[in-house]
Structure 1
């Protein structure tokens, strides 16, 4: 037979266990519901959803955190593309191709070194969605005169990479615009 203390301990343990089991699925579904809500308002739902779901959003994530994650992912993809371009420049012997790739690198350098880090800092430090929006719009504008056009009718070796970065920028812009709307409502 159990003593009063043992019974109380077992009851408390069972209660805590039940609370934990009930709350875990809720906390794990919260970011998923937030991601769905945010991504429905972007031009590329699947890209947005897969990007945010592959991140480490906290269980109590909010729009600011989602915007931060998206801008950081865009920065990573743009950096990867810049590194890819630099590798192509170094490996090719064709001076015309080197020049065309050099133009592409010149478009990515300020985006990677200044524009996107400033957008990320604006969101993280100040919740300044307007400045972040300006920065992401500038990056998108800079890439819309993209190096793909520099290659003329020939298919650029960078086509898929550039297209992906541009789509991510559009998604990031849409998320940041939601942040601006949220601030205006408050």
Structure 2
């Protein structure tokens, strides 16, 4: 029986894929670099998108991934606010937190999911509007927190979370604008 030194087709394809994989991954990194460079918070954009698996491979999936990051942060912040409400005994702080929860709840449950769905349909203008509205809700929440005059640990934490959500919204809006401008 004669041994064949020829590489089988499946083995050849596997080897080609192994060689191309780093190039494909770099292509996604280049896209993330390009899109994130055009945002107001490049580091935040990259920190939000790079860990995703699978890595977004086109501008539309990058925008959707960024909106999902916004949704995750909003959801987490809403949960944090709700836990603070349960443990707050100061009436003014409780009112401000309840106002924040009321502002965040529809954004988390309806608005951002609608924006993500709109992106899938190519309605980037609507998605941009919704993300801008979410940003305004964080501003309103923060005004309520500031009006209590509280400077305790929970007020500082809410302020940091509101700022993070606002910055993520700015990044997502910037990604969408890049997509609408064909970049």
Fold shared, TM-score > 0.5 on shorter chain: yes
> Equivalent residue for 2:129?
134
Deviates more, 1:13-22 or 1:115-124: 13-22
**Number of equivalences:** 178
**1:164 maps to 2:160:** no
Indicate the RMSD between aligned Cα atoms, in angstroms. 2.1
Structure 2 CA distance for aligned equivalents of residues 137 and 87 of structure 1: 26
- Displacement, 1:146? 2.9
Query: Is the Cα contact below 8 Å between 1:101 and 1:147 reproduced in 2?
Result: no
Structure 2 CA distance for aligned equivalents of residues 131 and 37 of structure 1: 23
Q: Which is bigger in relative contact order (C-alpha 8 A, separation at least 6)?
A: 2
Write out per-residue CA displacement over residues 110-162 of structure 1, whole angstroms, 9 at most, x where no aligned residue. Answer: 211121111111012x1111111111111112222333553334332401111
> Equivalent residue for 2:80?
84
Deviates more, 1:145-154 or 1:45-54: 145-154
Q: Which has the larger radius of gyration?
A: 1
In the superposition, the TM-score normalised over structure 1's length comes to: 0.86
> Equivalent residue for 2:175?
175
Write out per-residue CA displacement over residues 29-86 of structure 1, whole angstroms, 9 at most, x where no aligned residue. Answer: 1211111011000000000001001112447x10110011110111011011001101
Which runs of 5 or more structure 1 residues have no equivalent in the other structure?
A: none
SS of alignment partner, residue 181 of structure 2: helix
Match of 1:95 among 76, 87, 91: 91
**1:146 maps to 2:141:** yes
Q: How is 1:1-186 mapped onto 2 (pairs within 5 angstroms)?
A: 2-3=2-3, 6-8=4-6, 10=7, 12=9, 15-58=12-55, 61-124=57-120, 126-152=121-147, 153-155=149-151, 156=155, 157-182=157-182
